Structure 1
């Protein structure tokens, strides 16, 4: 099928599909404005920007009143119900042929929607297209991951109960997934469950580009209550085993690192290791070292956070082999 070109700077998108960008907001504070601006300023302009205010009480919407005059933006206010219920309400209101997720404190790079939409147009059988991402920690962007994943690779990830990429980087085809909803009982890991279910039925890919910036917040729920979070992850894993006719064994899912810090920060070091390996594969050795050092600085007394540095210092041939074999679990995204 010939590539369907999209004009990067097109203002009028006659004949091009409508993309709904879903943003669920709960007390996003100072981060809501830059996050919303990153969607408004996308190179692809034919957008339906659907914001669900899930009972915010911090006045964050006061900071974006001038942006809400954009006729592409719709805001639905509701009492606080949690993210699964909020995004399900959004799914009931989607107007686009495709929809993308945007966390209310994250940043989409300017060409994110354009590039993911092009991939979906070029391969009509795909249900979802994800992309690489970087992290924003203390206001600084770092640790980009940008390795592509084919349909077969994503299928293998799904069979191993892993998401192919960070969940808010996804763009989805409504004709294939529009009937699916997030599980309300999973207050955490609801997107993990959702993406596993999609991958069990349909192909997906990951673009080999870093197009999204995921913000790490110091007051994250996952940092405050790792045991509480793990309960929902086990439940999502149990549900997947049941769908696949497999025996559920909680011990099989408990594969994470033993470092207490890694449990508290949701194994963020795995993301840094993936970033280092991606940089080594692209012969960006200085970038790999910089990323590894940033990882070590997160917890200077914890040996686990020096693993990225070990990978960065390895010979290229060994690094390439590890890049093929390394099976780091993508960072979860409950903030």
Structure 2
């Protein structure tokens, strides 16, 4: 008789009644049987609690946890981690849909790759009307370590985490990161374990106007502060301390919504900054130079497109004499068409 390691699935719920039934049922119907499903109600005021109680009566693996007050996402996730009993922790949101074989395939991968402590997958993005597209991420540990300097290398609701990596190193989500808390956690986890993404769609990710990402986009100022702290964490772990001005330029160059803050920045400053980050990351963390340059070069092209640099001849000349320009154009084309 095969013995399955338990997987704890954490699903935070806050006024989630519109989509949560389908989300929870997609976990209840997983091909992998050995689950505990932690549904944490964070003070909902709709009928979220009624739906949880109804589903828990149908499946004994469901555990209802109620926060006495609204703790917000980070504290709710950490509470969930503290209550988990499984060898692995699976994340899931209350409006997404897990593919039937998701957890089975992730556990099988982890069991045969004990060096991997963090595992994600590709996703399918959809809304109420249509399939929007496919979300992909770097697959190998080497690429993930380079990519983490530019963005999160995982789709948060679809990850599987080896619980003993968190417990052994006292890792959890940090309250200061009201957004990007997953990116910050991955940066810390990669100091202690390897990571991978399964190149297969295992999660259907719902895009809706009420999602946390959409809401946070409405307050770019506070978001920039948090993202700046995340990039500070990644870069400082490579042994490099940037000035506040450098860090602002670096952070803003990572998102087109933030480039407006550095719209008149000199291309030469960005090139020098990227060169410095690559130098320290390669020297002190063994990051693959080619991969990191590729990911930064993609941001470089976006920076040129969304700033005033393209309107200034001398900035254009500086750009085309930089290898970031050609690496970025090539990488952008390959990524866009998934070649």
What corresponds to 2:279 in structure 1? none
Whole-Å separation in 2 of the counterparts to 1:85 and 1:46:
26
What corresponds to 1:209 in structure 2? 200
Cα contact 1:147–1:209 (8 A) shared by 2: no
Matched, 1:41 2:29: yes
Number of residue equivalences: 262
Select 2:39's aligned residue among 51, 66, 76: 51
What corresponds to 2:160 in structure 1? 171
Taking structure 1 as the reference length, the TM-score comes to 0.71
Select 2:61's aligned residue among 57, 72, 90: 72
What corresponds to 1:244 in structure 2? 238
Compared with structure 1, are the counterparts of its residues 176 and 91 closer, same or farther at alpha carbon in structure 2 (3 Å cutoff)?
same
Structure 2, unmatched stretches of 5+, are 262-304, 307-328
Whole-Å separation in 1 of the counterparts to 2:105 and 2:197:
11
Question: Offset of 1:224 from its aligned partner?
Answer: 2.5
Whole-Å separation in 2 of the counterparts to 1:154 and 1:240:
13
Superposed counterparts of 1:181-220, under 5 Å? 181-219=172-210, 220=214
Cα contact 1:127–1:177 (8 A) shared by 2: no
Cα contact 1:108–1:213 (8 A) shared by 2: yes
Whole-Å separation in 2 of the counterparts to 1:146 and 1:193:
19
Q: Deviations over 1:155-207 (max 9, x none)?
A: 2223x243222122210111222331110122111111011111232110110
Question: Offset of 1:252 from its aligned partner?
Answer: 0.8
Secondary structure in 1 matching 2:18: helix
Cα contact 1:147–1:207 (8 A) shared by 2: no
Whole-Å separation in 1 of the counterparts to 2:115 and 2:257:
41
Matched, 1:29 2:17: yes
Compared with structure 1, are the counterparts of its residues 117 and 139 closer, same or farther at alpha carbon in structure 2 (3 Å cutoff)?
farther
For the aligned residue pairs, the C-alpha RMSD in angstroms reads 2.9
Question: Offset of 1:152 from its aligned partner?
Answer: 1.5
Superposed counterparts of 1:167-316, under 5 Å? 167-178=156-167, 179-219=170-210, 220-248=214-242, 249-256=247-254, 258=256
More helix by share: 2
What corresponds to 1:136 in structure 2? 126
Whole-Å separation in 2 of the counterparts to 1:148 and 1:229:
24
Whole-Å separation in 2 of the counterparts to 1:256 and 1:148:
17
Taking structure 2 as the reference length, the TM-score comes to 0.70
Cα contact 2:123–2:204 (8 A) shared by 1: yes
Cα contact 2:152–2:182 (8 A) shared by 1: no
Select 2:95's aligned residue among 96, 100, 105: 105
Cα contact 1:148–1:209 (8 A) shared by 2: no
Select 2:3's aligned residue among 6, 9, 15: 15
Structure (1 or 2) with the larger CA radius of gyration: 2
Structure 1 stretches of at least 4 aligned residues deviating more than 6 Å after TM superposition = none
